[in-house]
């Protein structure tokens, strides 16, 4: 099935550093979502974006919906050890009740204290 191009695949950083990851698609989306998943848990919604160009923050996290509607990025500032996990982007495609999320392959983040 269709998947988003998410990069980087993994990151290993020092505590306090800023992090940036992005997703691109060949298709236009109306909604971009960013989730974080920790081992053995379900994904937790971090940020939802609904309009092209929208820039939204959630604490140390900032995400933007690209103007072309084909990309989005997520930034984490001043990383801390609890930021460790896998970050997934997801785009909403199709219309109607059965709209389904198209997923990126995830960015695995490791933070060295």
Partner 1 sequence: GAVVSQHPSRVICKSGTSVKIECRSLDFQATTMFWYRQFPKQSLMLMATSNEGSKATYEQGVEKDKFLINHASLTLSTLTVTSAHPEDSSFYICSARGAPREQYFGPGTRLTVT
Instruction: Mark 71-110 with x for binding to partner 1 (rule: CB under 8 A) and - for no binding.
Output: -----------------x--------xx-xx-xxxx----
The contact pattern for partner 1, residues 32-51, with x = CB under 8 A and - = no contact, is -x-x----xxxxxx--x---
Cα atoms in the Cβ-side hemisphere of radius 13 Å centred on 107: 26
Nearer to partner 1, 7 or 77 (CB): 7
User: What are the C-alpha distances in Å from 22 to residues 39, 41, 50, 72, 99?
Assistant: 21, 23, 16, 6, 22
Residue pair 13/109 in contact by the 8 Å Cβ criterion: yes
In the range 9-28, which residues lie near partner 1 by CB under 8 A?
none
Smallest distance from partner 1 to CB 17, Å: 24
């Amino acid at each position: 099935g269709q998947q988003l191009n998410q990069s980087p695949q993994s990151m290993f950083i020092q505590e306090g550093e800023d992090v940036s990851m992005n997703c691109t698609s060949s298709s236009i989306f109306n909604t971009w979502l960013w989730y974080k998943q920790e081992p053995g848990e379900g994904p937790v919604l971090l940020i939802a974006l609904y309009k092209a160009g929208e820039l939204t923050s959630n604490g140390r996290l900032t995400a933007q919906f690209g103007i072309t509607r084909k990309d989005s990025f997520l930034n984490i500032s001043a990383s801390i050890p609890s930021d460790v996990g896998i970050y997934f982007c997801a785009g909403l495609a199709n219309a109607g009740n059965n709209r389904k999320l198209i997923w990126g392959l995830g960015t695995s983040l490791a933070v060295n204290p």
